[in-house]
Amino acid sequence: MKLNKLAQVGFLKNLSIMRKMILIFTIILIVGIGNIGIITYFQNLQKTDAGIVDVAGRQRMLSQKIGFYSQLAAKGNVDDLQILSDSIKLHDESLLALTNGGIAKLFELYESWVLK
């Protein structure tokens, strides 16, 4: 009985060196493939996070731009009203995309953003 327990515990002792090496290589291979899967999964999660951070940064810039052009419009500069209107529209659309989900416009109105 005691010999039988030793045989069960020390099953690696009965394997040849080649089989032990194959077993170790197989374990390393399985762990490596698992690591690749986990890394790929988390990299895909970060892609969406980067887009959200970009849109949030643009929201900050647009709020400053809206404040700047609203002051110009208040001083009577009518030429900048279109830029102000476009900035407010893009800010609202991006805010809806951030709060409700969806795709925010990227830089379709870029030409109207250029300061004079």
Average pLDDT of adjacent 10-residue blocks, the chain of 116 residues: 55 81 95 96 81 86 94 88 91 88 60 44
> What pLDDT is stored for residue 69 in this prediction?
93
Residue 86: name the closest of 65, 102, 103 by CA. Answer: 65
Between CA 105 and CA 102 the distance in angstroms is 10
Domain coverage including residue 93: 2-113
Entry pTM:
0.56
Residue 12: name the closest of 3, 4, 21 by CA. Answer: 21
Helix, strand, or coil (residue 21): helix
Cβ-Cβ contacts under 8 Å for 66 (sequence gap 6 or more): 84, 87, 88, 91
Domain count, the chain: 1
> What pLDDT is stored for residue 43 in this prediction?
87
> What pLDDT is stored for residue 106 in this prediction?
61
Between CA 99 and CA 101 the distance in angstroms is 6
